[in-house]
Structure 1
């Protein structure tokens, strides 16, 4: 085990690497099966197929290859439709709650220690208090179900003022929401950071860490962002780290690891508790998926090692 592996349980998102997975359950199944053989990654960030036979085969493949699942709920809850947990339509809210609970049960089947949700669509400042009230009711019910499975639940902060336009949103608001959830009994609920969202949210990693630590930082996604409207990767697209026109490359990634060490999220000494960090990225243009994810493993490991050297950790 390397110094990197002794401190970090590192993973990636198969569905993001094979984007057709979001459109076709068979493509999603194939992506998980293909990625199971893509060592040295230790974990996957994904949801599981609703088809029982495909889901069980995915779980078997992950277990056989010693891959942990860090469950990410599908994006359907982020759309203003029949699975919007904050919809004006009570039937749609019921649909969202039932489907979210179903995915929590899938996560439990795979023995995932954590499940990641995002918030509902924002409808403007006037409707925000009512939507946040609905989302809190929904979230507390999900957190209670997760608790019965000894599972952590987290909210992924996503930009509110542009691109996806979800209600949770700014890191301060996310932390305030999570602290309120904890006061209402959700002791298993904490926050996470996705570095790819920071430029889209116009927030710094320093601010993100400061705010999330108020409610507990338990998970980190890594990625890049492109702010050039002429790029195919413009907006909320999860481009690969170091892509042309991107915001982050090795230097910036190293700085991110320095901050994650300094705040205590990544342990300075190896132990039983490792930091959960994963890539949520698409492949490099002109490069196949598996080569892309291997290249990014080396880039991330190098950045972590450089940060540790700078801080005289190892």
Structure 2
């Protein structure tokens, strides 16, 4: 029998409001609007540099009971950090930089931080990269635990576009399961586009990742290698990408049938990017309408 569960609508702000990157006042104002509107139950943000604005975000999200996830992707990308680096000094430096930012996440009211790993070092070095990633995540989890923060890891694609070390679901599951034996505050941020670009069947990948998954990004991608849009570009939902409304319903219905997430609410967001020449508010409205329709059909 299908078990009842509840998907919590969440907004991935750094992608939807990408043209406003660097304008932290805008993001504070927008979070206040989101809290007042009351549709979203969670927000995903980038690092906030201004201490006073972090305090404002914490106050707003605490009062409105919004779940906050802070992504470290920009920090990792801008500084070239590699948590799965084979070189030990490079790995340690990456860990130290992430740990420095955990306090900021806490000040902004985050109960989760989210990470991506480094480039794929090639088949011969993957075993070492995996061992080093386990060490990195373990150290980060220890620090995050002191703040009551969960550490989420998002695998990307290994061969198609981003070419990161952590990509295939089976590899991700094995590494995170190893970390979780000693650090319960590790989790999996699942992205549909990354699974598809890894040539995985999404429903099967979700079943494999199982209860490690804490949140889901419904992200679209063009899967034809000869298409100019091929890869992980956070394109709008629907054609020419694989993620249509019907496909999204199928994915969520499969999740419900598996009964993997009944014990806890499950955060879900639409990952779509607003480019510089596009209207971010229009992007958000379209994503919200898609999510409202989807959750009306699949929640409960």
Please give the range of the TM-score, normalised by the shorter of the 2 chains: 0.7 to 0.9
Query: Paired residue for 1:295, among 283, 286, 291?
Result: 286
Query: Paired residue for 1:279, among 262, 270, 274?
Result: 270
CA distance in 1, matches of 2:175, 2:55: 35
Q: Report the CA distance between 1:301 and its aligned residue.
A: 2.5
Query: Paired residue for 2:132, among 134, 141, 161?
Result: 134
Structure 2 gaps of 5+ residues are none
Output aligned runs, 1:78-93, within 5 Å. Answer: 82-87=80-85, 90-93=88-91
Q: Report the CA distance between 1:143 and its aligned residue.
A: 1.0
CA spacing shift, 1:142–1:199, aligned 2, 3 Å: same
1:253 lines up with 2:248 in the alignment: yes
CA distance in 1, matches of 2:101, 2:292: 31
- Confirm or deny: 8 A CA contact 2:153 2:189 kept in the other structure: yes
Query: Paired residue for 2:154, among 153, 156, 164?
Result: 156
1:16 lines up with 2:15 in the alignment: yes
Higher relative contact order (CA 8 A, sep 6+): 2
CA distance in 2, matches of 1:293, 1:275: 20
Which position in structure 1 is the counterpart of 2:295?
304
- Confirm or deny: 8 A CA contact 1:119 1:168 kept in the other structure: yes
| TM-score for the superposition, normalised by structure 1 | 0.82
RMSD between superposed Cα atoms in Å = 2.8
Which position in structure 1 is the counterpart of 2:232?
236
CA distance in 2, matches of 1:252, 1:104: 36
1:47 lines up with 2:66 in the alignment: no
Query: Paired residue for 1:208, among 189, 205, 230?
Result: 205
Q: Report the CA distance between 1:135 and its aligned residue.
A: 1.4
1:226 lines up with 2:222 in the alignment: yes
Q: Report the CA distance between 1:84 and its aligned residue.
A: 2.1
CA distance in 1, matches of 2:224, 2:180: 39
**3-state SS, counterpart of residue 208 of structure 1:** helix
Q: Report the CA distance between 1:88 and its aligned residue.
A: 5.4
Structure 1 gaps of 5+ residues are 1-5
**3-state SS, counterpart of residue 33 of structure 2:** coil
- Confirm or deny: 8 A CA contact 1:17 1:282 kept in the other structure: yes
| TM-score for the superposition, normalised by structure 2 | 0.85
Q: Report the CA distance between 1:50 and its aligned residue.
A: 2.5
- Cα distance per residue 1:13-61 (max 9 Å; x no partner): 111012245xx523x5524533541432221112222232343344344
- Cα distance per residue 1:87-146 (max 9 Å; x no partner): 455553333112211222222223322222122211101111222222111110011112
Query: Paired residue for 2:163, among 143, 162, 165?
Result: 165
CA distance in 2, matches of 1:50, 1:144: 23
Q: Report the CA distance between 1:203 and its aligned residue.
A: 0.9
Task: Considering fraction of residues, name the structure with more strand.
Answer: 2
Q: Report the CA distance between 1:208 and its aligned residue.
A: 1.3
**3-state SS, counterpart of residue 127 of structure 1:** helix
Which position in structure 1 is the counterpart of 2:92?
94
CA distance in 1, matches of 2:57, 2:157: 32
CA distance in 2, matches of 1:303, 1:82: 37
